[in-house]
């Protein structure tokens, strides 16, 4: 185990590198595919870590489930040829053991594993006393507590370097994305984990090549620490996730197309200007909360009347009238219909809760 630790200490600088760029095939398929993809990626000089799925958690049996441990020597060879450290997904103690003995540098826990505390605990136990960095993908469904629980399980076994990967959330009927980004949840997770590496996986969010750049850019604008992008030397013939993989050259193009912004501002005038705007925003937010509270007081009054006269809380025609008025007003003022609906849905729910309390008091 000592040798393993030394190996992982040498990957410390990669853990600190920003942006941290991880790329490689969804699955390791053949030695030729792993080596060619790795060498093309390394030639871009833009990649920090080589990824590949060795064991693939597939939704349906009978789909390609990864070539398994025989891919490990191919990866080791790819590292020897390119100098790129390696990361693979692990989902069981056995896979951890095989990954560690092969000298894999960073492990990741997949979305289908993060949902299962038994599996996460099994992996954490297998890593007791091992100083290896680990990346935890968000659970398939939008549950930040499960994601947090996984962090805690690894922390408890002494893992120091824990990063998070946002790969989107499954949502029924969603067509634009393979996994809806639900940016607000990722932002909340980032807020709860200051200083923790936070990486975006646009490939699994998008599920198709066309919108990778847009999603990658958005994550960088949100101050993510890096990207995990699937790439393959022959994406159309990939054995898994063919539609979302791109050739290494396209990874390079994508990275060059991103506008890299900084969170901290060096320019003093700019920083003062932004600070002043932020103060104004705070002021408006305070006023908005005041106004919302006043609105709820009026709602309460109506609730009293409804109670006295035995009228139902929800009056659909009134609700439609409110929405119609607000769409028109919002449109004139540059607010999207989608936002108005979301906003008024939230306000409406709060109003109903208020009136419910009154009706049943
Ligand atoms: C993957 O990275 O290939 C993978 C299976 O991802 P996820 O766990 O996010 O679905
Ligand atoms: Mn994949």
How close is the Cα of 13 to the center of ligand 1, in Å? 25
For the Cβ of 166 lying below 6 angstroms from any atom of ligand 1, the answer is no
How close is the Cα of 64 to the center of ligand 1, in Å? 14
Q: What pLDDT does residue 10 have?
A: 53
Q: What is the pLDDT confidence band of residue 6, given thresholds at 50, 70 and 90? A: very low
| pLDDT of 99 higher than 70 | yes
Q: What pLDDT does residue 11 have?
A: 64
44-48, 79-83, 268-272: range with lowest mean pLDDT: 268-272
Q: What pLDDT does residue 319 have?
A: 86
For the Cβ of 136 lying below 6 angstroms from any atom of ligand 1, the answer is no
How close is the Cα of 82 to the center of ligand 1, in Å? 24
Q: What pLDDT does residue 78 have?
A: 98
- As a whole-number percent, the residues of the chain with pLDDT over 90 amount to 81
Q: What pLDDT does residue 289 have?
A: 94
Q: What is the pLDDT confidence band of residue 223, given thresholds at 50, 70 and 90? A: very high
| pLDDT of 1 higher than 90 | no
Contact 255, 21 (CB under 8 A): yes
What ligand is nearest to the CA atom of residue 110? 1
Whose Cα sits closest to atom 8 in ligand 1?
110
Helices in the chain by DSSP H: which ranges? 2-9, 12-16, 31-44, 72-82, 93-102, 111-114, 117-126, 144-156, 183-192, 202-206, 212-221, 248-257, 268-309, 316-332, 337-359
For the Cβ of 79 lying below 6 angstroms from any atom of ligand 1, the answer is no
Strand partners, 20: 226
How close is the Cα of 206 to the center of ligand 2, in Å? 11
How close is the Cα of 150 to the center of ligand 2, in Å? 21
Q: What pLDDT does residue 261 have?
A: 81
For the Cβ of 238 lying below 6 angstroms from any atom of ligand 1, the answer is no
Whose Cα sits closest to atom 10 in ligand 1?
111
**Tens of pLDDT along 295-354?**
999 999 999 998 999 888 777 888 889 889 998 999 999 999 999 999 999 999 999 999
- As a whole-number percent, the residues of the chain with pLDDT over 70 amount to 96
Q: What pLDDT does residue 270 have?
A: 86
Mean pLDDT, residues 195-223: 97
- What residues flank ion ligand 2 with Cβ within 5 A? 26, 241
What residue has token string 């409804």?
306
Q: In 72-91, which positions are buried (b, 16+ CB within 10 angstroms) versus exposed (e)?
A: bebbeebbeebebbbbbbbb
User: In angstroms, how far is CA 256 from the centroid of its own chain?
Assistant: 21
For the Cβ of 137 lying below 6 angstroms from any atom of ligand 1, the answer is yes
Whose Cα sits closest to atom 9 in ligand 1?
111
What is the model's pTM?
0.82
For the Cβ of 153 lying below 6 angstroms from any atom of ligand 1, the answer is no
As given in the structure block, the two tokens for residue 8 are 């992982």
Output the DSSP codes for 78-146. HHHHH---EEEE--SHHHHHHHHHHT-SEEEE-HHHHT-HHHHHHHHHHTTT----EEEEPPSSS-HHH
6-10, 104-108, 135-139, 162-166: range with lowest mean pLDDT: 6-10
As given in the structure block, the two tokens for residue 250 are 């396209």
Q: What pLDDT does residue 92 have?
A: 98
| pLDDT of 75 higher than 60 | yes
């Amino acid at each position: 185990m000592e040798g393993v630790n030394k190996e992982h200490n040498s990957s410390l600088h990669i853990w600190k590198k920003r942006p941290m760029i991880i790329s490689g095939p969804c699955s390791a398929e053949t030695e030729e595919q792993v080596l060619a993809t790795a060498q093309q990626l390394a030639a871009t000089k833009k990649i920090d870590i080589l990824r590949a799925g060795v064991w693939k958690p597939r939704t349906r049996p009978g789909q390609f489930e990864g070539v398994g441990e025989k891919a490990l020597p191919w990866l080791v060879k790819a590292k020897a040829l390119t100098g790129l450290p390696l990361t693979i997904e692990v989902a069981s103690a056995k896979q951890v053991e095989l990954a560690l003995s092969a000298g894999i540098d960073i492990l990741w826990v997949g979305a289908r594993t993060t949902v299962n505390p038994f599996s996460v605990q099994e992996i954490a136990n297998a890593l007791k006393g091992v100083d290896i960095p680990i990346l935890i993908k968000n659970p398939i469904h939008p549950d930040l507590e499960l994601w947090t629980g996984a962090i805690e399980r690894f922390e408890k076994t002494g893992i120091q370097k824990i990063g998070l990967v946002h790969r989107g959330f499954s949502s029924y009927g969603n067509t634009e994305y393979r996994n809806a980004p639900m940016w607000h949840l990722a932002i909340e997770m980032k807020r709860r984990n200051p200083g923790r590496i936070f990486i975006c996986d646009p490939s699994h969010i998008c599920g198709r090549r066309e919108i990778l750049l847009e999603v990658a850019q958005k994550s960088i604008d949100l101050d993510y620490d890096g990207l995990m992008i699937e790439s393959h030397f022959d994406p159309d013939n990939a054995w898994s996730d063919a539609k979302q993989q791109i050739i290494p050259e396209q990874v390079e193009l994508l990275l060059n197309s991103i506008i890299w912004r900084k969170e901290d501002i060096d320019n003093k005038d700019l920083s003062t200007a932004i600070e002043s705007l932020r103060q104004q925003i705070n002021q408006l937010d305070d006023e908005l909360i005041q106004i919302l509270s006043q609105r709820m007081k009026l709602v309460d009054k109506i609730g009293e009347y409804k109670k006295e006269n035995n009228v139902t809380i929800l009056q659909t025609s009134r609700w439609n009238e409110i929405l119609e008025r607000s769409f028109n007003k919002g449109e004139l003022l540059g607010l999207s219909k989608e936002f108005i609906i979301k906003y008024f849905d939230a306000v409406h729910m709060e109003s109903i809760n208020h009136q419910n309390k009154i009706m049943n008091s």
